[in-house]
Amino acid sequence: MTKYLIKRTISSIISLFLFLTFMFFVMQIMIPTDFTTQFSLILNRQQREQLKQELGIDRPLWERYLDWANRLLRGSLGTSFYGYPVVNELKRLIPKTLLIFLSGTTASFFFGQWLGKKAAWKGPGWFSNLTTFASITLYTSFPPLLAFLLTYFLGRRVNLFRAMFRGNALQRLDRLLWARASLQPEQVMTYMMLTTATVLGFLTLVNWSRKRRREPTLPLWQQLLFFVLGTLGIWFLFGFGRLALDILQLSILPILVFTLLSFGETMLIMRTSMQDTLQEYYITTAEAKGLPEKTIRDKHAARNALFPVLSRLVISIPYLLTGMVIVEDVLHWPGMSQALFESMYNQDVPVVMGALVIVGIVCTVTRLVLDILYAYLDPRIRYTTRSLEAI
């Protein structure tokens, strides 16, 4: 296992670096002219040459690449062509994107696999047909349109959520509240994510310890109650409860859209794989032993059915990120992808590369975690290299 872990980590770091190299050269080759001729028309020739020298774009491509790689390996993302450090810009953007991405992905994964499990367990019938129809519709529907329709009906017609058709979504935060607060929205978002993760981790620990002592785990409603009360309690205890609720109100629509966009696939795969598992002989054996239905469904069938869902999730991380781009663009959420495309327009290569580094790291880390989880759950995988090959 340790050997597998080391091998997998090293190979994914190498592939991440190759990905970034590829994107670097694509950026440099495809941008039509250089920054100075495009955006500083007031300068005369001498000043332009000087600016080029300052920005370092007068040097040959390979030299620029080596310089960039050298800086990246030391952990520096460089400075933008507009003068500010890239890291500061990214620090402002990452929490906004991660808030939607993480909560949406988690929600869609759990909801999708739960629904798939139910649909397969109930067998053919109206429930299975309805859920399958809904999932195929969501999976194939045109993402921007879905986002638009939800904004239109839930945000405008019913006024359930605060939604924006134009401008910046965060402008609709409660001004009075934020004027008195000493925190920035992105800081509050970071704290929100950290506290939620802490509460979730605590819950997992409680469940695990109960399982070790062979006690039944807490019922679902108790866990949910504990989760909600615990998170809210911590938020208000640390004094940013009202701010956090304000942000939550605003971000619930993007999270909803993102969840709907990504859960169809999980549900479909879970249903198929659960149907497969239910045909196995060990399920018949479990039934013959007279085990309760819930135990068979949740422990014998669903756990084994989860493998294809996990390995499929590896493939779909990039597509989840695409969903993120759409959500940000249509709902005007000022996150990473907005900044990425804006700096593409401005030909601000350092910022673009910085954003791509983050995208690459997110993809790699998620894949690595899933691969390790998969290897932990299914020992056969340790002898090959990739969880994708087990589909």
Partner 1 sequence: MATEAQSQEILRRRLPNRWGLLRAHWRRSREQIKEVTRHPLGLIGTGLIVVFALMVLAHPVLMNTVWDRKRFDPIVGFDAPLAPHPTSPTSIHPLGTDGFGRDVLSQLLAGTRISFAVGLVAAVVAVTISTLMGGSAGYFGGTVDAILMGIADVFVLLPAPIVLMIFGLLVKMNWLTVGLLYGVLTGLGSQAIVVKSHTLSIKVKPFIEAARVAGGNNLHILRVHILPGLMPIMLVHAFFTVVGAVLTESLLSFFSRTTHYLSWGSMIWLGQETFRWFDLSGQWHAIAPPALAVMLFCSAFYLVGRALDDVFNPSLKKRR
Binding site for partner 1 (CB under 8 A): 11-12, 14-16, 18-19, 22, 26, 30-32, 136-137, 139-145, 148, 152, 156-157, 165-166, 272, 275-276, 279, 284, 314-315, 318-319, 321-322, 325-326, 329, 337, 340-341, 344-345, 359-360, 363-364, 367, 385-386, 388-391
70 CB-contact burial (10 Å; exposed 0-12 / middle 13-18 / buried 19+) = exposed
CA distance 199 to 232: 10
Minimum CB–partner distance for residue 268 and partner 1 (Å): 8
Minimum CB–partner distance for residue 47 and partner 1 (Å): 27
Report yes or no: 380 and 330 within 8 Å, Cβ to Cβ.
no
CB closer to partner 1, 251 vs 273: 273
Minimum CB–partner distance for residue 134 and partner 1 (Å): 12
* Closest-CA residue to 135 (of 114, 151, 152): 114
> How open is the CA angle 116-258-256, to the nearest 5 degrees?
85
The residues that bridge with 46 in the sheet, in sequence order, are none
CB closer to partner 1, 40 vs 284: 284
Annotate 330-357 with b (16+ C-beta within 10 A) or e (fewer).
bbbbbbbbbbbeebeebbbbbbbbbbbb
Minimum CB–partner distance for residue 173 and partner 1 (Å): 22
CB closer to partner 1, 111 vs 341: 341
DSSP letters, 120-174, are: HHH-SSHHHHHHHHHHHHHHHS-HHHHHHHHIIIIIIIS--S---SSS-GGGGS-
CB closer to partner 1, 188 vs 309: 309
CB closer to partner 1, 180 vs 389: 389
Minimum CB–partner distance for residue 182 and partner 1 (Å): 36
Q: What residue has token string 């990504």?
A: 262
Identify residue 247 by its one-letter amino acid code.
I
CA distance 120 to 272: 7
CB closer to partner 1, 51 vs 274: 274
CA distance 352 to 23: 10
Minimum CB–partner distance for residue 117 and partner 1 (Å): 17
CB closer to partner 1, 2 vs 140: 140
Minimum CB–partner distance for residue 38 and partner 1 (Å): 13
